[in-house]
C-alpha cells in the first residue's frame, strides 16, 4: 500500500521520501495527489473483483479450446487417454471437446484417414496466430466488453456446428474459424483488466483469474464422463458433447454482453463518486489517455523501442517450458514407473502446488512492485527442476527426488507467464501499443508448443533427455534475458535520476507524462 500524507495524497512535495530519503519532484506528484481515499480504493477494487473476475473466469472456462496461455497455464489439463496412450500434439489446447469426442469414436464415425486427427488439431494454430493482432485492434477500438462476448458467441456457434459435421472437411473448416474466433481472446482479457486496475494491482488479479479458470477446467472431464454414459441415443454421444458445451457457451456469451461494462465510467454498479475515482486511478497509474482511440500507426511505434523485442524473446523462451510441462507432464512422471491410473493421479499434486506458487509469486510481485526478479525466479525453478530430473540415472533409487523435480517444473511455468504479460503492460502507458504487443506476445508463447511437441519424441522415452535439455536451455535463456532486462531498466532509471537530480519511481510519475515511453525524459521503468 502506498504511503499517504495527511491529505490522503500519494507522496508529498514537502516531505522527503521515507524509503529513499529523496525529495519528491515538484509537479510530478502534484498532478496525481489530489484526493485519494485508499479505503475507497480498496472498496472499489473489491467491487471490480466480484463483478468482473467471475464473469471473465467463466468465459475462459466456457472456451474449451482456449490457447494454453490461459487453459493450461497451471497445467490443469485433462489428458485424455487416446488410442495409443500418447498425448496428442495440441490435446491441451483442445482439452474439453475434441479430445474427449475422439475417445467416443468421433474419428471412426467421420471416417478419418491416418494423421487427419493431428492435422485437425494443428490447423487451429494457423488462424490463432495470424488473426490475434488484427482482432485485438478491433477489440481495442470497439471495447473488449463487447468484442469478448462476440468472440465467445462465435466459438460457441462453431462448437455447436461441430455436432453437425459429417466428414473431416467440415470439421476442418470449423476448426479454422474456431482459431480465428479465439485468437485475441486472452490478449483482450489482459487489456480489459488494465483499464480497471492500477499497475501494482494487476498481477494478483491475473493470477487469481488464471487459478480460478484452471481449477474450473479440472471439472470439464466430468461433463464428458456424464454425456458418454447416455444410453440408447439416436445420435453418437460425442455430438451431444458439442451441443451441450456450445449451447452453454452461447448462452453465457449473451449474458456477458449485457453484463460487462465497457469501462468504469459506464459501470452501472458504481456511483458517480466511484466512477470519478476509477477514472483518476487509471489516468495516473495505468493509461496515459483513458479509453484512447486506437490508431494503428501510433500503436506500431511500440516497435521503435528495443525492449519490445526483448519482451517477445522472453515470451518465446517462456512458451517452450510452459507447453512442455502442460503437454507432457504425464510422460515425465511415467518414467517413475507408476501404472497409467497412478501416473495421471500423480500429476495432480505438482499442478496444485504450481497454482499455489503462481499466487504466492504474483502477490509478492504486487506487494514489492517488482516484476523481473519473480519472473527470473520462476524460470530458475523450472530450469532447476528439469536439470535435477535429467541428472538422475536410476529413478527407482531416487524416486522422491525425481518426483520433487516435477514440482519445481510446475512452480516455474505459471508465474513467469502471468508476470511477463503484466510487466510489459505496466511499462506501456499508451493503450494502443499495449494491446498490440500483448496480441503478438501471447500467441507467440503458445506457438512454442510446436517446439515442445517435437522434442518429446517416443524414441527418447522414458527419459526424454533431448527434450529435458532443450526445455532447460530455453528456461535458462529466459531467466538471463529477464534478469538482464530488469538490470537495464534499473540502471536506466538511475541514469535518468542522475540527469534530473532527483530520485523517482514509476508510480511517482503520472502516466500522462509517460505516454511516449522511454523517449520521454520523465519516464521511469516499472521493474
Lowest mean pLDDT among 41-50, 353-362, 499-508: 499-508
CA triple 272-277-282, angle to 5 deg:
130
Answer whether residue 16 shows pLDDT above 60.
Answer: no
Answer whether residue 484 shows pLDDT above 50.
Answer: yes
Q: What is the DSSP letter of 10?
A: B
pLDDT digits (tens, 9 = 90+) for 325-381: 877 787 788 888 877 656 667 777 888 888 888 889 999 998 898 999 999 999 999
416, with CB counted inside 10 A (0-12, 13-18, 19+), is buried
More confident residue, 213 or 80: 213
Q: Which residues pair with 4 in a beta bridge?
A: 10
% of the chain at pLDDT higher than 90: 19
Answer whether residue 121 shows pLDDT above 80.
Answer: no
What per-residue confidence (pLDDT) applies to 10?
A: 36
Lowest mean pLDDT among 89-98, 330-339, 473-482: 89-98
Q: Among the ranges 102-106, 165-169, 199-203, which has the highest mean pLDDT value?
A: 199-203
SS3 label, residue 127: helix
Answer whether residue 254 shows pLDDT above 90.
Answer: yes
Neighbour-count burial for 192-204, b at 16+ CB within 10 Å, e otherwise: bbbbbbbbbbbbb
What per-residue confidence (pLDDT) applies to 212?
A: 64
Measured distance CA(479)–CA(276) in Å, rounded: 40
- Whole-model pTM: value is 0.76
* Contacts of residue 323, Cβ cutoff 8 Å, sequence gap at least 6: 68, 72, 92, 446, 448, 449, 451, 452, 453
pLDDT digits (tens, 9 = 90+) for 264-290: 888 888 888 888 888 888 877 766 566
pLDDT digits (tens, 9 = 90+) for 128-184: 888 988 999 899 888 899 999 999 999 889 888 888 877 877 888 888 888 888 888
**DSSP letters spanning 335-347:** TT---HHHHHHTT
What per-residue confidence (pLDDT) applies to 74?
A: 30
- At which residue does the C-alpha cell 519511481 appear? 505
* Contacts of residue 294, Cβ cutoff 8 Å, sequence gap at least 6: 137, 140, 141, 431, 432, 435
Q: Which fold has domain 38-519?
A: Growth Hormone; Chain: A; (1.20.1250)
* Contacts of residue 480, Cβ cutoff 8 Å, sequence gap at least 6: none
Per-chain mean pLDDT for the chain: 76
pLDDT confidence band for 213 (50 / 70 / 90): low
What per-residue confidence (pLDDT) applies to 435?
A: 87
Measured distance CA(52)–CA(49) in Å, rounded: 6
Residues in the chain: 527
Lowest mean pLDDT among 85-94, 190-199, 214-223, 358-367: 85-94
- What are the residue boundaries of the structural domains of the chain, listed by start? 1-36, 38-519
Tell me the three cell numbers of residue 332: 515425465
Measured distance CA(360)–CA(356) in Å, rounded: 6
% of the chain at pLDDT higher than 70: 74
More confident residue, 107 or 397: 397
Measured distance CA(128)–CA(67) in Å, rounded: 9
pLDDT confidence band for 24 (50 / 70 / 90): very low
pLDDT confidence band for 259 (50 / 70 / 90): very high
What per-residue confidence (pLDDT) applies to 485?
A: 96
Amino acid at each position: 500500500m502506498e504511503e499517504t500524507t495527511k491529505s490522503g495524497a500519494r507522496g508529498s512535495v514537502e516531505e522527503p521520501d521515507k524509503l529513499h530519503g529523496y525529495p519528491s519532484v515538484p509537479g510530478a506528484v502534484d498532478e496525481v495527489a489530489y484526493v485519494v481515499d485508499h479505503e475507497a480504493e480498496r472498496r472499489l477494487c473489491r467491487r471490480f473483483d466480484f463483478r468482473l473476475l467471475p464473469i471473465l473466469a467463466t468465459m475462459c472456462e466456457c472456451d474449451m479450446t482456449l490457447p494454453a496461455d490461459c487453459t493450461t497455464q497451471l497445467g490443469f489439463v485433462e489428458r485424455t487417454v487416446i488410442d495409443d496412450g500418447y498425448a496428442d500434439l495440441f490435446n491441451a489446447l483442445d482439452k474439453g471437446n475434441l479430445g474427449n469426442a475422439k475417445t467416443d469414436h468421433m474419428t471412426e464415425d467421420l471416417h478419418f484417414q491416418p494423421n487427419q486427427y493431428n492435422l485437425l488439431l494443428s490447423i487451429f494454430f494457423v488462424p490463432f496466430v495470424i488473426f490475434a493482432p488484427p482482432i485485438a485492434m478491433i477489440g481495442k477500438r470497439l471495447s473488449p466488453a463487447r468484442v469478448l462476448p462476440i468472440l465467445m458467441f462465435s466459438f460457441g456457434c462453431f462448437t455447436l456446428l461441430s455436432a453437425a459435421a459429417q466428414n473431416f472437411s467440415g470439421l476442418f473448416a470449423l476448426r479454422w474459424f474456431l482459431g480465428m474466433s479465439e485468437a485475441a481472446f486472452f490478449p483482450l482479457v489482459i487489456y480489459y483488466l488494465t483499464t480497471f486496475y492500477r499497475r501494482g494491482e494487476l498481477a494478483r488479479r491475473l493470477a487469481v483469474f488464471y487459478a480460478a479458470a484452471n481449477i474450473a477446467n479440472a471439472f470439464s472431464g466430468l461433463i464428458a464422463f456424464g454425456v458418454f454414459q447416455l444410453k440408447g441415443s439416436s445420435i453418437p454421444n460425442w455430438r451431444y458433447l458439442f451441443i451441450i458445451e456450445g449451447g452453454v457457451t452461447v448462452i453465457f456469451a449473451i449474458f456477458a454482453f449485457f453484463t460487462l461494462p465497457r469501462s468504469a465510467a459506464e459501470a452501472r454498479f458504481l456511483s458517480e463518486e466511484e466512477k470519478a475515482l476509477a477514472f483518476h486511478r487509471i489516468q495516473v497509474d495505468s493509461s496515459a489517455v483513458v479509453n484512447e482511440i486506437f490508431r494503428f500507426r501510433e500503436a506500431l511505434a511500440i516497435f521503435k523501442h528495443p525492449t519490445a523485442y526483448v519482451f517477445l524473446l522472453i515470451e518465446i523462451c517462456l512458451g517452450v517450458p510452459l507447453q512442455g510441462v502442460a503437454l507432457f507432464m504425464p510422460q515425465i512422471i511415467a518414467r517413475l514407473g507408476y501404472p497409467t491410473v497412478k501416473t495421471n493421479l500423480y500429476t495432480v499434486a505438482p499442478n496444485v502446488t504450481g497454482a499455489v506458487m503462481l499466487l504466492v509469486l504474483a502477490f509478492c510481485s504486487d506487494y514489492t512492485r517488482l516484476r523481473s526478479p519473480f519472473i527470473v525466479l520462476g524460470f530458475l525453478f523450472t530450469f532447476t527442476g528439469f536439470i535435477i530430473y535429467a541428472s538422475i540415472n536410476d529413478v527407482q533409487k531416487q524416486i522422491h527426488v525425481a518426483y520433487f523435480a516435477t514440482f519445481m517444473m510446475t512452480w516455474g511455468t505459471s508465474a513467469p507467464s502471468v508476470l511477463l504479460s503484466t510487466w510489459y503492460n505496466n511499462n506501456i502507458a499508451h493503450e494502443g501499443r499495449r494491446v498490440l504487443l500483448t496480441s503478438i506476445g501471447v500467441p507467440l508463447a503458445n506457438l512454442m508448443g510446436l517446439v515442445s511437441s517435437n522434442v518429446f519424441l517416443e524414441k527418447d522415452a522414458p527419459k526424454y533427455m533431448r527434450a529435458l535439455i532443450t526445455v532447460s536451455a530455453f528456461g535458462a535463456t529466459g531467466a538471463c534475458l529477464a534478469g538482464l532486462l530488469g538490470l537495464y531498466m534499473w540502471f536506466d532509471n538511475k541514469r535518468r535520476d542522475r540527469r534530473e537530480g532527483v530520485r523517482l519511481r514509476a508510480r511517482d510519475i503520472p502516466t500522462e507524462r509517460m505516454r511516449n515511453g522511454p523517449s520521454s525524459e520523465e519516464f521511469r521503468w516499472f521493474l
